[in-house]
Structure 1
Amino acid sequence: MFTRIPVPQGVARKLQTMILEGDLKAGEKIPSQRELSERFGVSRASLREALMTLETIGLVKTEAGRGTFVVGTSPASAKTMAEWRYSHTYSLKEVFETRLMLEGEIAARAAGRLVADDLDTLARLTDDMERSWAARDYLANVEADLKFHAIIARACGNKMLSELYGQVRDQVTETQRQPIPITDPKRMEASVSEHRRLIDALACGDSVAARRAMSEHVANTAACAGYDICECGTPGDRS
């Protein structure tokens, strides 16, 4: 089934391609928002959203009064995470804590409920995550990751839990992007392995193993972003 790509995400993809293919080079100031919005035929609001996404994954940096500049073709060029965009409502730590509790329960309840097609899709999405990271397509990496978690949420057998996950999807999305600029390649390899262990637990109907696999995965993602969180949801800052 065809899924319509949100306008900001489509613009972000185009700009990412321009950066990766060298049309926009490291250190170069990108065209003004007015120029880009006219070029892509989108509103400035959609363009700003696209630029914020690229800044979160470490490809561009906006400097007040100067404009937006290309950081590099790899998120590692940024070396630090972008400012957490939901700080006016929830801290990054709070969102990771919520993910730990919510997604751990969702995974436990989804164990044994996913049909063969679902499990095959989870495996394919995990492969997509691995391939897109190697190709430096960081937007596709996050998109595959989000689809992976959404499938599990839909299969948990509890409508309220599924809807709660949907209600915090924007914040969850940002926690997937936030650590990218400081993610070591070894961590991405580990993340892919964590997804595959989770699939195995879900396929076997082992709720205990599924909860553990999901909780470890979320906790390790949080650690990459700079937070140690435990299963009771009482984390301590790594710093």
Structure 2
Amino acid sequence: MPFRKIEQEKLSQAVVRQIEALILNGILRPGERLPAERELSERLGVSRPSLREAIAELQRAGLLITRAGAGIYVAEVLGSAFSPALVRLFSTHDRAVFDYLDFRSDLEGLAAERAARLGTDTDLQVIDAVFARMEAAHNKRDPAHEAELDAAFHMAIIEASHNVVMLHMMRSMFELLREGVFYNRQIIFRQRRTRDTLLDQHRSIRDALLARDPMAARAAVERHLGFVRTALAEEGRSDANEDVARQRIAREAERG
């Protein structure tokens, strides 16, 4: 008969499973420092030897790393979905920018639809709180801060979709965006009119989510990212036109 004796799980394995779940669900993030050994063992209710055994296993698995004199950290696994060679290709070809935005529109539209259906009340409170911070930052005219809040808003929606594969894929994508691999987010926050439009679009997304309207939430995300795509294309055309104009004026100066 296919039965085996039930064996009590080692405490260290219970610790491993809990930390793995926190990383998988995006609660513990890459680069985040774990509490000191004494504090962590007290929080988990296990002995320090059991904790050390669990930490060692997680380090062997590549999920945690030790930094000399600094403590234990979640490994920097974001971005590992893309090889350095591919990242370089992304950063040097304009097509990647627009393919990236199309990808985001498809995936984030789905995430918004899922968030409207599956997000908890707490998830929606987080999204609403991030949007409130966006409104507060709007009048301060700090493009870098607005861009960071924009990313936080979109990530809050992805987290509210409760799909861990989507979560880690999009965190990896946003890390490349933060590093300027695809485009400089601050570009689209330079003009007041554009900034006002972007804020209104995020408000529409927020409102659809709070109303728990999946189709409206998806449509609002798609409209927003379509606008970003158009704005970046126009910015590129403007830069190209300016380059031609400078060549013309230089040529006129040569003609004297």
Q: TM-score, normalised by structure 2?
A: 0.50
Q: Number of residue pairs matched?
A: 152
Distance, in Å, in 2 between the alignment partners of 1:223 and 1:179 is 15
Tell me what 2:42 maps to.
none
1:169-201: CA deviation from partner (whole Å, max 9, x where unpaired) = 123434673462674311211111111111121
**Which residue of the partner structure matches residue 117 of structure 2?**
112
1:206 aligned onto 2:206? no
1:219 aligned residue: 226
What is residue 139 of structure 1 aligned with on the other side? 144
User: Would you say the 8 A contact 2:144–2:186 is kept in 1?
Assistant: no
The answer to whether the aligner puts 1:149 opposite 2:154 as a matched pair is yes
Instruction: Summarize the Cα distance change of 1:95–1:5 in structure 2 as closer, same or farther, 3 Å threshold.
Output: same
- 2:137·2:146 contact (CA, 8 Å) conserved in 1? yes
What is the aligned counterpart of 2:101 among 96, 102, 111? 96
> Which whole-Å CA distance do the structure 2 matches of 1:182 and 1:202 have between them?
24
Partner residue, 1:124: 129
Letter in 2 for 1:220: F
Alpha-carbon shift at residue 166 of structure 1 (Å): 1.5
| 1:114 positional shift | 3.0
2:169 to 158, 164, 171: 164
Task: Give the match for residue 87 of structure 1.
Answer: 92
- The residue type paired with residue 118 of structure 1 is D
Code of the aligned partner of 2:187: I
Report Cα offsets for 1:206-235 as digits up to 9, x if no partner: 1111110001111111111116xxxxxxxx
Structure 1 stretches lacking a partner, 5+ long? 7-83, 228-238
Partner Cα separation in structure 2 for residue 205 and residue 125 of structure 1: 17
Question: Unpaired runs of 5+ in structure 2?
Answer: 1-26, 33-88, 235-240, 242-256
Matched, 1:184 2:191: yes
Task: Call closer, same or farther: CA 1:180–1:108 in 2, change over 3 Å.
Answer: same
Whether the aligned pair in 1 keeps the contact of 2:177 and 2:183 (CA below 8 Å) is yes
In structure 1, what residue type is equivalent to 2:152?
K
Task: For 1:110, give the aligned amino acid.
Answer: A
Structure of greater Rg: 2
Query: TM-score by structure 1 length?
Result: 0.53
Whichever residue aligns with residue 217 of structure 1, its letter is H
Residue type of the partner of 1:94? Answer: D
The structure-2 alpha-carbon separation of the partners of 1:120 and 1:157, relative to structure 1 and needing over 3 Å to count, comes to closer
The answer to which of 169-178 and 194-203 deviates more is 169-178
> 1:103, CA displacement in angstroms?
0.9
Q: 2: CA distance between counterparts of 1:167 and 1:202?
A: 24
CA separation of 1:90 and 1:148: change in aligned 2, threshold 3 A: same
Q: Is the 8 A contact 1:114 1:203 kept in 2?
A: no
Distance 2:185 2:117 in 1: 31
